[in-house]
Chain A
Amino acid sequence: QSALTQPASVSGSPGQSITISCTGTSSDVGSYNLVSWYQQHPGKAPKLMIYEVSKRPSGVSNRFSGSKSGNTASLTISGLQAEDEADYYCCSYAGSSTLYVFGTGTKVTVL
């Protein structure tokens, strides 16, 4: 099972919106609405930002939103802030033999 494909880096200016893509296959992202997104600051543990493609856990800013089309999921950060600078990973359920697969990760830089 290969990792889901994410762009290595995405950047934007404060206040702008950016979108991170997460491309999988018909065996994972395309088959299940079970994509989640994690934010990881340097030296810290990941933090859940989105689950089931587009749902936000309690306490996560509504500037973060998720969507999916076919085999590609996306995370959009609107009103970009300096504190959003971090690595972001998608993760998808991939069926009963593999269970879960993470994306390759995207470094978000706030210019």
Chain B
Amino acid sequence: EVQLVQSGAEVKKPGESLRISCKGSGYSFTSYWISWVRQMPGKGLEWMGRIDPSDSYTNYSPSFQGHVTISADKSISTAYLQWSSLKASDTAMYYCARHGERVAGLRNAFDIWGQGTMVTVSS
């Protein structure tokens, strides 16, 4: 079964650092880009950035550039989203999502999603 499994919920204090993970299985991890998507409580989806796990090339939304870092370890089929100094406004559900197969025209759509990781930042 093709799936993305994310790490568990986190509760952090402002100023702390955090890295959450997204492990792919059931497919060739390096053949598909991974994006991260934020959903603040009661709000809509926001695209944050994406990584090509084959070479770790990244693109970021201007809204998130400089605030988060996306990385990947292809040896363990895992992508990461990390913060160096969390703020209360980072409280949200974070999803990783796989871009679909290029040949099938799905490269610019997100065909497999992780279950989400809830990050709560509170003093």
Interface residues of A (CB under 8 A from B): 1, 3, 32, 34, 36, 38, 40, 45-48, 51-52, 55, 57, 89, 91, 93, 97-105
Number of interface residues of B (CB under 8 A): 24
Q: Which of B59-107 contact A (CB under 8 A)?
A: 59, 61-63, 95, 97, 100, 105-106
Check B50–A99 contact: CB distance below 8 A: yes
A102 CA / B47 CA spacing, docked (Å)? 7
Check B44–A51 contact: CB distance below 8 A: no
Check B95–A45 contact: CB distance below 8 A: yes
A45 CA / B44 CA spacing, docked (Å)? 12
Interface status of B30 (Cβ within 8 A of chain A):
no
Contact of A100 among B47, B95, B113 (CB under 8 A): B47
Q: Which of B24-78 contact A (CB under 8 A)?
A: 35, 37, 44-47, 50, 59, 61-63
Residues in B with CB closer than 8 Å to A105 are 44-45
Check B106–A51 contact: CB distance below 8 A: yes
Interface status of B109 (Cβ within 8 A of chain A):
yes
Residues in A with CB closer than 8 Å to B62 are 1, 97-98
- Of all chain B residues, which has the CB nearest A89? B45
From known contacts A51-B100, A101-B47, A105-B45, infer whether A46 and B110 are also in contact, taking CB-CB under 8 Å.
yes
Check A46–B109 contact: CB distance below 8 A: no
Check A3–B61 contact: CB distance below 8 A: no
- Of all chain B residues, which has the CB nearest A43? B116
Residues in A with CB closer than 8 Å to B59 are 99
Q: Name the residue among A55, A99, A104, A105 with the largest chain B CB count within 10 angstroms.
A: A99
- Of all chain A residues, which has the CB nearest B105? A52
Check A93–B108 contact: CB distance below 8 A: yes
A-B pairs with beta carbons under 8 Å apart, 23 shown? A1-B61, A1-B63, A3-B44, A38-B45, A38-B110, A45-B95, A45-B113, A45-B116, A46-B37, A46-B113, A48-B111, A51-B108, A51-B109, A52-B108, A55-B105, A93-B108, A98-B61, A98-B62, A99-B47, A100-B50, A102-B37, A102-B46, A103-B44
